[in-house]
Copies of this chain bind each other. A is one copy, B any other.
Amino acid sequence: MGRKSDAGERILDAAAKLFAQRSYASIGVAEISAEAGVPKGSFYYFYPSKQILALAVVNRHWERQRAEWLRILTAPDPLPDRLHALFVSTRDVQLQALNGTGAVAGCLFGNLALEVSAQDDPVRARLQQIFDEQIDIVEAAIRTVDDGGEAPVTAPREAAKAIVAQIEGMVLFAKLFNDPGQLDQLWQNSMRLLGLPVRGAVPAGSE
């Protein structure tokens, strides 16, 4: 057991790990506390309920992923290169999970979304916001495409949504087949969704 001040952080780490492995409904406070190495009483000191913990896990995950997406998608590079970097990053996250735990983790938001969608749940409302923000970030990137002399994309919002949906679908396959290689076509598919030339190869210097 670490210092008391680490306990809240350890609970978040433990929950994130367990939520990647099994259903949210099947994971109880006792199991999360045991995984974190904190007494169950401490759990409730930090998180009054599993739902509040789930929101904290989701918010921390999005804070980190959002920073990464913004760093990549607002870089001063042509759009195809920025999208390519996003998909390399997406694949690497799953590859690291596979190497570290033996299993592709999938998308925390997608995993939880399918489980909480039939319920009136604050987690569901937060996930709706997060997917909207993901689409916002991709849309903003797409809108910069004509800066580099490329043809402008006709419906940037719909194209951004299609790209985020493509990521979710392919990450589902990566999880189901436990194979990050399922993500290898994400860049090509996104270029096609944008109506931009694929040129049969990945951007030079970004692989």
By a beta-carbon cutoff of 8 Å, the part of chain A in contact with chain B is 20-26, 103-104, 106, 110-111, 113-115, 117-119, 124, 127-128, 131, 158, 161-162, 164-170, 172-173, 175-178, 185, 188-189, 192-195
Could you give 18 example pairs across A and B, Cβ below 8 Å? A22-B115, A23-B23, A23-B115, A26-B26, A113-B176, A114-B172, A117-B175, A117-B176, A117-B178, A128-B177, A162-B189, A162-B192, A165-B170, A168-B169, A169-B170, A189-B193, A192-B194, A193-B193
**B161 in contact with A185 (CB, 8 Å):** yes
Task: Given A22-B118, A26-B26, answer yes or no on A185-B162 (Cβ-Cβ < 8 Å).
Answer: yes
Chain B residues within an 8 Å CB radius of A173? 131, 161, 165, 168
**A22 in contact with B176 (CB, 8 Å):** no
Chain B residues within an 8 Å CB radius of A26? 23, 25-26
Contact partner of A118 (CB less than 8 A), chosen from B24, B25, B103, B188, is B103
Chain B residues within an 8 Å CB radius of A128? 176-177
Q: CA of A166 to CA of B195 in the docked complex: distance in angstroms?
A: 16
Chain B residues within an 8 Å CB radius of A172? 110, 113-114, 165, 168-169, 172
Given contacts A114-B175, A167-B169, A192-B192, could you give 20 more A-B pairs where the C-beta distance is less than 8 Å? Answer: A22-B115, A23-B23, A25-B26, A26-B26, A103-B117, A110-B114, A111-B114, A111-B115, A113-B175, A113-B176, A117-B175, A118-B175, A158-B189, A161-B173, A165-B166, A165-B169, A166-B166, A168-B172, A169-B170, A172-B172
